[in-house]
Structure 1
Amino acid sequence: MQEVGLTVNPQTNQKEAVNVSFQFMQDGRMVQLNVPLLTIVPIPYIAIQNVDINFKANISASSSSVQESSSSQSIDAGADIKAKAGWGPFSVEANMKANYSSKKDSKATQDSRYSVEYTMDVAVKAGQDSMPAGLAKVLELLGSAMDVSNPKGTLEVNAHKLTLDPNGNAILIVTYKNCNGLFESEKVKVTDGNGNSCNATETNAESAVFELKAIGDYTVEVTDNADKKLNVKVEQ
């Protein structure tokens, strides 16, 4: 709203609503529509409505073990034994060697493995929340400010023919709106037939009041808009 919908007037340093102005045909004439920008664009008012968190975990484990054992035995007396026997012409001689040993081997291995895998899914759902009451009221007021104006401005008088009253005065009320639909009555100038300017006796936000004291023709114009000029006649 600060950056887009509002602007600062460099002369008054006051914040003003930014208007979008465009022209179109209406009843056979070109008119201009002035619309506050804040009333035609959506104002983001985001609110988080739902937050869903899904957690998934996958844990896998594996283990293996191997056991191996072996054993062997041997006999070794560590000495030689000789025996000899004979009968008559024959004889036998035997050599014996004995040993004993015991050996046992064993082997064991174990392997364990673990793995963990997880995923997390987060879903956030946001949407346009209801408008605050204060902002709704502001937009309502700005919506009522939409106005159709003349792209060349509008100059109006209370009458084109005036009559002097018993005090010898003719009251002329002039209203001027610029192309943006803003009153700028201070830019109105009234001159008589001799080119003399008439001073306004009263100037308010909407109009300027002049007291014309002589009969004749008067010209009503706008100082910075040469296209806007009206003629007024004062009669007895």
Structure 2
Amino acid sequence: MAVDKTPSQVATSALQAIPFGSIIGGPLKACVEAQALAAKTTWEFIQNVGINIDPKTGEKRAVNVSFSFIQGGKLVQLNIPLLTIVPIPYIAIHEIDINFKANISASSTSTSETTQSEAKDAALKASASMRFGVFKMNADMNASYSSKKDSKATSDSKYSVEYTMDVAVKAGQDSMPAGMSKILELLGNALDVSDPTGTLEVNATQLIIENGKEKAQLIATYKDGSGLLAPDKLIITGTGVNAEDFKISADSRIIDLPAGTYTVKAEGSKKEVVVNVIAGETPTTTGTPDAGDETNS
């Protein structure tokens, strides 16, 4: 009997039919999509947790955590950007292991059986009689023949295909991107200790008008309770003060004032500073040397 090659052909066909592209590419695609989702989650975390958006102007500001404590016998307020004290999720996939195993089995069984017999239904009957003197003999003969032929053949084949796949993904907190690290460094440098009632400062509480001038220059600076410079909240009252005389330069409010007493306040704050402006003495006139005189050193 010839060798049956059907099992090997079945096994080869089954192996070629395995979707290796989907088996290997599927987990890789899922990991890429998971990485993209992780990046989006990080961005949403920064937007929702670390940044406030003004609904009217659309201006974005970092969220600060503020609390008060005593320092040097005074109550002060610490302002800390929230993003510098909470862990930002930076999940990254570091390694992907794909283990694939295919088990293909194929077998074929063929059985052939032939049974042969012959049977022919034929009958022959004969009789004969003979005499030998006073003796007589009779003989009878019977003959039969049968012929029969049977054949039987069986064939059985079976195969199975089984494959398993193990996927191991290792992920963890990734290092912070350089850009975000720089931002957090800047936010860390912005950490500030401020007076919760605000800070009001002037260049001097007593200003002297220089000789030959009619006014002295007042420079006032104000920080609110959160440590934000707010020169537009400064209010200066007194004789001869006009709103058009004010000007803002370098986060300070500047005004030239004639002699008198003035009060510097900040809108929404109870702090105030009284400034006195006084006229200077008229200088004594001294002689001027002639052009021909020489000065010895």
Q: Find the counterpart in structure 1 of residue 222 from structure 2.
A: 176
Question: In the TM superposition, what is the alpha-carbon distance from 1:13 to its structure 2 partner?
Answer: 4.0
Residue ranges of structure 1 left out of the alignment (5+ in a row): none
Give the TM-score of the pair, scaled to structure 1.
0.80
Separation in 2, partners of 1:37, 1:215: 46
Give secondary structure in 2 for the equivalent of 1:227: coil
Separation in 1, partners of 2:218, 2:200: 13
Select the structure that is richer in strand.
1
2:195 maps to which of 134, 150, 174: 150
Separation in 2, partners of 1:152, 1:6: 25
State whether residues 53 and 121 of structure 1, in contact with CA within 8 Å, keep that contact through their aligned partners in structure 2: yes
Q: How does 1:93-104 map to 2 (within 5 A)?
A: 93-99=139-145, 101-104=146-149
Q: Find the counterpart in structure 1 of residue 263 from structure 2.
A: 219
Q: How does 1:80-95 map to 2 (within 5 A)?
A: 80-87=125-132, 88-95=134-141
Give the TM-score of the pair, scaled to structure 2.
0.65
Residue ranges of structure 2 left out of the alignment (5+ in a row): 1-42, 280-297
Moved over 6 A (4+): none
Percent identical residues: 48
State whether residues 185 and 207 of structure 1, in contact with CA within 8 Å, keep that contact through their aligned partners in structure 2: yes
Q: Find the counterpart in structure 1 of residue 62 from structure 2.
A: 18
Q: How does 1:117-196 map to 2 (within 5 A)?
A: 117-166=162-211, 167-192=213-238
Give secondary structure in 2 for the equivalent of 1:3: helix
Question: In the TM superposition, what is the alpha-carbon distance from 1:95 to its structure 2 partner?
Answer: 3.8
Q: 1:13 to 1:98 in 2, by over 3 A?
A: closer
2:273 maps to which of 222, 230, 233: 230
Question: In the TM superposition, what is the alpha-carbon distance from 1:116 to its structure 2 partner?
Answer: 1.4
Separation in 2, partners of 1:230, 1:11: 34
- The letter for the 2-side match of 1:222 is A
Question: In the TM superposition, what is the alpha-carbon distance from 1:154 to its structure 2 partner?
Answer: 1.5
- The letter for the 2-side match of 1:234 is V
Separation in 2, partners of 1:69, 1:203: 117
- CA RMSD between the two structures: 2.9
Separation in 2, partners of 1:152, 1:83: 155
**How many equivalent pairs are there?**
230
Structure with the greater relative contact order (CA < 8 A, sep ≥ 6): 1 or 2?
1
- The letter for the 1-side match of 2:137 is S
More displaced 10-residue stretch of structure 1: 145-154 or 23-32: 23-32
Select the structure that is richer in helix.
2
